[in-house]
Amino acid sequence: MKYHLTFRYTFVLAVILLFCSCKGERKLPYYGMRDTKTVTNNDGSTTVDTIYQTIPAFKLLNQDSTEITNDTFKGKVYVADFFFTSCNTICPIMHRNMKKIFDNYKDNADVMLLSHTIDFKYDTPSVLKKYAQKLGVDGPKWQFAYGAKDTVYTLATKSYLVSVAQDDNDKQGYVHQGFLILIDKDRRIRGAYDGTNPEQVAQLEKDIPLLLAEDKS
Amino acid sequence: MRKLIILLSFSFTVICIFYSCQTADSVQRDAYYVNGRDLYIRHCQNCHGEKGEGLGELTPPLTDSIFMKQNKTQLACFIKNGVSKPLTIHGKVYEGKMPDFNLAPIDIAQLIVYITNGFGHKQGMYTPEQVAADLNKCR
């Protein structure tokens, strides 16, 4: 009789555990500042909506000296970062990793990459073009953006939440964080990954399909 | 039969003992190789990659054995002074600049032992004295 009871408890416990392990689909978080908006429903009642931080409108030049704006990335999921071509510390690692993503999504037009240079003195579009060609990624999928210092630095620190700065004490003249920022189709920040850390880059590779699936449903 | 087995296993053990004996030279070379790997990870791996594969046409790979052999006495200069002239590796021309690394001759020697014995090469020991001599002849 006692055994019988033990079995029953074990069974109940097993069922509970089984259900606990069935987690719902993982959803990527929203980063940045939030705001609220009160919306009036059809029946006259009101509810509060969350407004997430989005990447504001920008206008930059790409490696072909063509203007790129938000519309270039309209309806796309994209990975953004900040670098400069003469950087030989973290940038080669970041771009080695981004190139893997570039190769994996070669045939998927919904995924793009956007690298902003923070070296406004030297990295003109023609320098970026050469860099892209040498990296073997020149084409519309991976955009290399050039802009005035204020434009790019504000975009980095205020919108993509990546710290960048000019530093005359540094041997290379610039210091910046190596984050790869994942942006969804509605210009919201959905992930930030250290582009020099293999585990975090692996996480990014797992998160991109999630984001692509989310936008389809 | 039993004697034979005992004899065989005994002689096998003896051979193994002798075989595993390392000379002082190879011990030193291995020490250089291991230290060189740490230096490589710190100073070179960003661009040249974990397996010396390079990065596109931006950074040349370190896997060209013929280049490594022909330019062995130049390697110290490349590391110490950087490179600004085009280099042909695996038949491809690389034009990018390599920055200079202000390292001590012992560090350069360890690095050279690592990159000329790793990545599929086997060129043996390189001493700080050889590095110092190479550096005097930098072009």
| Interval A66-83 mean pLDDT | 95
Q: Which among B47, B49, B56 has the least Cβ separation from residue A88?
A: B47
According to the model, what pLDDT value does residue A2 have?
Answer: 61
A33, A217 contact by CB (below 8 A): no
DSSP H or E stretch at residue A126: helix A125-135
Calpha distance A195→A205 (Å, rounded): 11
Q: Domains (ranges, CATH) in chain B? A: 26-136 (1.10.760.10)
Which residues are within 8 A (CB) of B15 and not within 5 positions of it... i.e. 6 or more apart?
A: none
Q: Which residues pair with A194 in a beta bridge?
A: A179
Q: How far apart are CA A197 and CA A119, in angstroms?
A: 23
Mark residue B52 as left, alpha or beta (left: phi above 0; alpha: psi -120 to 50; beta: remaining).
Answer: left
Second CATH level (architecture) for the domain A55-216: 3-Layer(aba) Sandwich (3.40)
Percentage of residues in chain A having pLDDT higher than 70? 92
pLDDT value, residue A3: 65
| Model confidence pLDDT, tens digit, residues A170-213 | 888 898 999 999 999 999 999 999 999 999 999 999 999 999 99
Range A89-117 average pLDDT: 95
Reported residue count of chain B is 139
The reply to whether B59 touches chain A by the CB within 8 Å rule is: yes
- On the question of pLDDT at A101 being above 80, the answer is yes
Query: Phi and psi at residue A123, in whole multiples of 5°?
Result: -80, 65
Q: Between A and B, how many CB-CB pairs are < 8 A?
A: 28
pLDDT truncated to tens, each residue of chain B (139 aa)?
Answer: 888 888 899 888 888 777 777 777 888 999 999 999 999 999 999 999 999 999 999 999 999 999 999 999 999 999 999 999 999 999 999 998 899 999 999 999 999 999 999 999 999 999 999 999 999 988 7
Contact A134 B56 (CB under 8 A): yes
Please give, rounded to a whole number of angstroms, the shortest distance from the CA of A47 to a CA of chain B.
51
Smallest CA–CA distance, residue B122 to chain A, in Å, is 27
**Structure confidence at residue A20 as a pLDDT band (50, 70, 90):** low
Interface of B with A in 21-50 (CB under 8 A): 46-47, 49
User: CA angle at residue A198 from A135 to B63, to 5 degrees?
Assistant: 50
Answer whether B57 sits within 8 Å of A134, measured CB to CB: yes
How far off is chain A from B86, nearest CA to CA, in Å?
14
At residue B69, the pLDDT reads 93
Reported ipTM: 0.76
